[in-house]
Every structure is written in C-alpha cells, then in structure tokens.
C-alpha cells in the first residue's frame, strides 16, 4: 500500500490559535485528519510527525527511505533557511511535495526564500486547508503517471 509521510515543522502544533487571520482556525490534528481521509480514498496511508526540532525532522526523512513512497512537508519557517532539511529531502528517493497554508511569496521578504524548492516535485501554497488536499492529489497523480 502506498504510504505517505506527512511532516509538520516548527510552530505548526499551534495552528488554530496562532495568527488565525493568516493560518485559519483549523488545528493541525484537523488538517491531518482531513488529509488522512482524502488519502484513504486513494488507497494511501498517512503517517504524521510534527516537530519543533530540525534534527528530528531530518532523522524522520532518513528513516522514511524504503518505508514511505512520498513525503509531504510543511516545513514552517525552516523552509526559509534550513539547508539540512533540504539535503535530507534531496536524498529521499520518493515523491516530495512542499506545502504551505499561506502564500509565503506574498508575505515578508524572508519568506520568499525556499531552501526546499529545488529538491521537491512541487510546492503548493496559499490555499489554506486545501493546500493539504492538493498535496495529496499531487501525490496521487505523480504516482499514477
């Protein structure tokens, strides 16, 4: 069965209460629940990990090799400056999608940099909860292509 590792970076455990005017009022658990339900419709399983620690995310990506077919990652702010996350993803042999609830390209200057952009299949940003839906759909299409 196709398995997706869904990774959530720093501060995403605060979704629902953190800057709701930007990120909405949906909690991370609710995003994960919704993504998992959609993934199941495609016959996929989802394993989720949230961490506020860069190294823990790097280790999860290492451990994903040979276990998961795809990684969907919302790196939070790490996506703007983490080269170790970038290198770990680069070495992962499966499908890789970067996802953001907001549209970082339309926000502060520091958010316009993505260290992950050139090691992912694509980035989905700016669609709120639907960013996760679109990421699952992207995995489905890429794996069936």
Note the residues at the interface with ligand DQA (CB under 6 A).
Answer: 11, 74, 76-77, 100-102, 104, 111
26 vs 28: CA distance, rounded Å: 7
* Closer residue to ligand DQA, CB minimum distance, 76 or 94: 76
- Judged by CB, which is closer to ligand DQA: 68, or 100? 100
| Shortest Å distance, C-beta 54 to ligand DQA | 13
Minimal distance, residue 98 CB to ligand DQA, in Å: 9
Tell me the closest approach of the beta carbon of residue 92 to ligand DQA, in angstroms.
19
Residue of 23, 31, 68, 132 marked active site: 23
From its phi and psi, is residue 35 left (phi > 0), alpha (psi between -120 and 50) or beta? alpha
Kindly give, in sequence order, each residue whose CB lies less than 8 Å from that of residue 29, ignoring residues fewer than 6 positions away. Answer: none
Query: In angstroms, what is the minimal distance from the CB of 65 to ligand DQA?
Result: 24
Does the annotation count 132 as an active-site position?
no
Task: Name which of 12 and 140 has its Cβ closer to ligand DQA.
Answer: 12
In whole angstroms, give the CA distance from residue 63 to residue 80.
23
**Helix-helix angle 54-64:83-90, to 10 degrees:** 0
Active-site annotation holds for 100: yes
- Cα radius of gyration rounded to whole Å, the chain: 14
Active-site annotation holder among 31, 68, 100, 132:
100
Helix (H) or strand (E) holding 122: strand 122-125
Supply the residues annotated as catalytic. 23, 100
């Amino acid at each position: 069965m196709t398995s997706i590792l869904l990774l959530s970076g720093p501060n995403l455990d605060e979704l629902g209460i953190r800057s709701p005017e930007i990120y909405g009022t949906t909690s991370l658990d609710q995003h994960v629940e919704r993504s998992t339900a959609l993934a199941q419709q495609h016959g996929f399983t989802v394993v989720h990990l949230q961490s506020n620690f860069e190294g823990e995310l790097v280790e999860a990506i290492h451990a994903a090799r040979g276990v998961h077919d795809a990684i969907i990652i919302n790196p939070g702010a790490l996506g703007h400056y983490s080269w170790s996350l970038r290198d770990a993803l680069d070495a992962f042999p499966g499908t890789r999608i970067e996802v953001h609830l907001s549209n970082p390209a339309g926000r502060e200057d520091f958010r316009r940099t993505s260290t992950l952009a050139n090691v992912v299949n694509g980035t989905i940003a700016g669609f709120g909860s639907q960013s996760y839906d679109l990421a699952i759909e992207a995995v489905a299409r890429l794996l069936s292509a």
